[in-house]
Amino acid sequence: MKKLTKELIRETGYKFGLDLIGFANIERFKNAPERMNPKNIFPEGKTVIVVGKRILRGGWRGIEEGTNWISYTYFDYHGLLNTFFIPEPLYQLACFIEDFGYEAVPYYPGVPEAQPPVKPLRKNFPPPDVHLAIRIAGICAGLGEIGWSKVFLTKKFGPRQRLHAIITDLEVEPDPLIKPGSICKRCMECVNDCPSYAIPHIKENKKIQIKIEDYVYEWADIHLGKCTLSYHGGDSRVSPFIHKDFPGWNIDARKQDFSEETAYKFCWTLSTGRWRKTEEFPSGYIIEGHAMLQKWGEGGSFGICGSRGCMRSCFNYLEKKEVIEQRFKGGEFIKRKRWLLPYKVKKG
């Protein structure tokens, strides 16, 4: 039988359809909080293999032009990309590793901050569920860095990818870490084009810092409440659907100070909740357009803002500066003057 090496895993993973594969040793997670530490999922784990697949640039075309939302939600946001296109090859790769006699824990990237308060089941272990901070795992595996926007950036695709992982007891040499600042150019395009002002400017000095080996990585301390309002359907500047269903709306996401959880509670209730059918609003939904996106989108979630600043403006800039490797023949992604709706919605 062949020896299982990093090269063989990489070659096989690419063949299965993954675009990114990096290797971290477990030691790189030594500063991780207990509830985000892979050793607490698999105590014998020696290596965390972080894998990713690109988000299509074209996935955002409809939102960029203001004409189609469902494609991004269905394929590229929490849709097929996260629930099928990555998990399928990831699972095959985990099977491949186990065929060599190493245990391979397939890891689905949950949301660490959404953990309910539960007591630990065993002494010296944290309570369930343990979730990796998948972007930090991506840094540990040498795949890229976190940009100022808090979005994970790689040299190949800039901000356009989603990540999952495998934790295994196979021991391999970790990939080298990416030097901080080698992808994010601190251009502030993400800050300038974020509709809800969720990303503080570098001059505000509001940032998060972590140290992995000898490198210090830092990024903006994002206002997650404002971002969630724009992303999940509480911001009329990016949602034509609010304009249809909420005449008189006067909520400016830029001025709100919700926590992330409060913003979710607000947006999801409005976006997916039902209301009586009337002549004025015959659909039976509070915001019909959002409800349809959530209904049609694979994986349960839906995206309205479509990462206007933190992804679309970011890769537009990084492509222009030739920082990212994937090139497109048709020129810049942002081809026309961009749209933003007024936050006040006219009545009638």
Pick out residues in 142-161 that bind ligand SF4 (CB under 6 A).
Answer: 147-149
| Of 40 and 307, CB closest to ligand SF4 | 307
Q: Is the alpha carbon torsion for 202, 204, 210, 212 positive or negative?
A: positive
Q: Which residue from 15, 30, 186, 344 is in contact with ligand SF4, where contact means CB under 6 A?
A: 186
Residue 312, both tokens:
């679309």
Is 263 an interacting residue with respect to ligand SF4 (CB under 6 A)? Answer: no
Q: Which residue from 189, 245, 260, 319 is in contact with ligand SF4, where contact means CB under 6 A?
A: 189
| Of 149 and 168, CB closest to ligand SF4 | 149
| Of 63 and 137, CB closest to ligand SF4 | 63
Least Å distance, CB 75 to ligand SF4, is 17
Cα 129 from Cα 117, distance rounded (Å): 10
The CA-to-CA distance between both ends of the chain, in Å, stands at 72
What type of residue sits at position 139?
A: I
Is 230 an interacting residue with respect to ligand SF4 (CB under 6 A)? Answer: yes
Which segment (44-52, 180-188, 243-251, 272-280) binds ligand SF4 by CB under 6 A?
A: 180-188
Is 196 an interacting residue with respect to ligand SF4 (CB under 6 A)? Answer: yes
Cα 26 from Cα 139, distance rounded (Å): 13
| Of 196 and 294, CB closest to ligand SF4 | 196
Is 94 an interacting residue with respect to ligand SF4 (CB under 6 A)? Answer: no
| Of 297 and 309, CB closest to ligand SF4 | 309
Three-state SS letters, the chain: CCCCCHHHHHHHHHHHCCCEEEEEEHHHHCCCCHHHCHHHCCCCCCEEEEEEEECCHHHHHHHHHCCCCHHHHHHHCCCHHHHHHCHHHHHHHHHHHHHCCCCEEEECCCCHHHCCCCCCCCCCCCCCCCCCCHHHHHHHCCCCEECCCCCEEECCCECCEEEEEEEECCCCCCCCCCCCCCCCCCCCHHHHHCCCCCCCCHHHCCEEEEEECCEEEEEECCCHHHHHHHHCCCCCCCCHHHHHHCCCCECCHHHCCCCHHHHHHHHHHHHHCECCCCCCCCCCECCHHHHHHHHHCCCCCCCCCCCHHHHHHHHHHHHHCCCCCCCCCCCCCCCCCCCCCCCECCCC
Least Å distance, CB 15 to ligand SF4, is 31
Entry field: residues in the chain? 348
Residue 128, both tokens:
């369930």
Is 184 an interacting residue with respect to ligand SF4 (CB under 6 A)? Answer: yes
| Of 133 and 318, CB closest to ligand SF4 | 318
x/- mask, ligand SF4, residues 286-315, rule CB under 6 A, reads: -------------------x-xxxx--xx-
Q: Which residue from 4, 21, 166, 227 is in contact with ligand SF4, where contact means CB under 6 A?
A: 227
| Of 134 and 188, CB closest to ligand SF4 | 188
Q: Which residue from 60, 317, 333, 343 is in contact with ligand SF4, where contact means CB under 6 A?
A: 317
Identify which of 221, 223, 209, 137 has the alpha carbon closest to the alpha carbon of residue 180.
Answer: 209
Which segment (67-75, 96-104, 195-203, 279-287) binds ligand SF4 by CB under 6 A?
A: 195-203
Least Å distance, CB 287 to ligand SF4, is 18
Is 255 an interacting residue with respect to ligand SF4 (CB under 6 A)? Answer: no
Least Å distance, CB 239 to ligand SF4, is 12
| Of 291 and 310, CB closest to ligand SF4 | 310
Nearest position to ligand SF4, beta carbon: 147
Task: Please give the residue ranges that form the binding site for ligand SF4 (CB under 6 A).
Answer: 147-149, 184-190, 194-196, 198-199, 227, 230-231, 305, 307-310, 313-314, 317-318
